[in-house]
Amino acid sequence: MKVLLLTGLGALFFAYYWDDNFDPASLQGARVLLTGASAGVGEELAYHYARLGSHLVLTAHTEALLQKVVGNCRKLGAPKVFYIAADMASPEAPESVVQFALDKLGGLDYLVLNHIGGVPAGTRARPQATRWLMQVNFLSYVQLTSRALPSLTDSKGSLVVVSSLLGRVPTSFSTPYSAAKFALDSFFGSLRRELDVQDVNVAITMCVLGLRDRASAAEAVRGVTRVKAAPGPKAALAVIRGGATRAAGVIYPWRFHLLCLLRRWLPRPRAWFIRQDLNVTAAAAA
């Protein structure tokens, strides 16, 4: 029975995965606001959009890194590319970032939310860390979305939300981060239903990636997890395909589809999968 169930799930997955109607030309001239664009998957997203001819506003915390990415985007052919350095831990930052994008681009077709705040592996659920993470990983997403939604409604645009696997399948060292991401899933799920009821043509694509391909993320969980970082260019292209085709969700790499499906249905196999990726001794010591 279990074999038949897994075979059926695999068949459904491959049928969904290969149904790809992505048209790169649809992104030529698209107006994109991308957060977390200075490194890792966010940087690769910027480069893909630039190659596809999109107009870009990039934002991240570190201005020097943003300037480098902007220069590379121009070399890759982006017709327009602007940047604004912003710290999403500040409640005022989301409003100013969206307003900057609207002023520069005249509207938005895509809002790609990719920024993230993390704490070192082994950090417990301390109130101060949790409040900071909720602002960066949850409240700023809500603020950016609320401010950009009127423009996205006018353009019949798309919201693309990038998260990691820890936002769907928490582990012992990810409690504050996972709490923020679970709240985010709930918010965007409710927003999607509300938009459907109001017949508002704005797509929401929720993306789940493996461990972020960033030096800071790798350092934070070094020795705790055996999971390899998701390759930046491939992960970024999966996100862009999902957003452009208005898919409800994207999970990359593909093997995590099964783990996410098992999250509620079969908790014991889910725990087994987690143990394969987690160095339990190191996590406990942290």
Cis bond leading into 170, ω under 30°?
no
Query: Can you spell out the DSSP letters for 81-146?
Result: EEEEE--TTSTTHHHHHHHHHHHHHSS-SEEEE-------TT----HHHHHHHHIIIIIHHHHHHH
Residues 6+ apart with CB under 8 A from 194: none
- What number is the average pLDDT over the span 230-250? 90
Read off the pLDDT band of 131 (50, 70, 90).
confident
Query: Can you spell out the DSSP letters for 137-180?
Result: IIIHHHHHHHHHHHHHHHHT-EEEEEEEGGGTS--TT-HHHHHH
For position 90, what pLDDT does the model report? 93
Q: How far apart are CA 149 and CA 46, in angstroms?
A: 21
Read off the pLDDT band of 122 (50, 70, 90).
very low
Q: What is the pLDDT of residues 258-278, one digit of tens each?
A: 666 555 555 555 555 555 555
- What number is the average pLDDT over the span 33-55? 96
9-18, 59-68, 251-260 — which one is most confidently predicted on average? 59-68
Residue 226: is its pLDDT beyond 70? no
- What number is the average pLDDT over the span 190-217? 82
Residues 6+ apart with CB under 8 A from 7: none
For position 9, what pLDDT does the model report? 53
Residue 230: is its pLDDT beyond 60? no
DSSP structural state of residue 56: E
Q: How far apart are CA 38 and CA 43, in angstroms?
A: 5
Percent of the residues in the chain that have a pLDDT greater than 70, as a whole number: 67
For position 275, what pLDDT does the model report? 55
Strand partners, 140: none
Read off the pLDDT band of 218 (50, 70, 90).
very low
For position 215, what pLDDT does the model report? 47
CB 92 within 8 A of CB 84: no
CB 140 within 8 A of CB 111: no
Amino acid identity at 87: D
* Three-state secondary-structure class, residue 57: strand
Q: What is the pLDDT of residues 140-168, one digit of tens each?
A: 999 999 999 999 999 999 999 998 776 66
Q: Pick the catalytic residue: 49, 110, 141, 177?
A: 177
- What number is the average pLDDT over the span 166-183? 69
All structural domains of the chain, each given as residue ranges with its CATH number in brackets, are: 24-284 (3.40.50.720)
For position 220, what pLDDT does the model report? 43
For position 116, what pLDDT does the model report? 86
Q: Give the dihedral of Cα atoms 11, 12, 18, 23; nearest 10 deg.
A: 180
Residue 57: is its pLDDT beyond 70? yes
16 assigned to active site: no
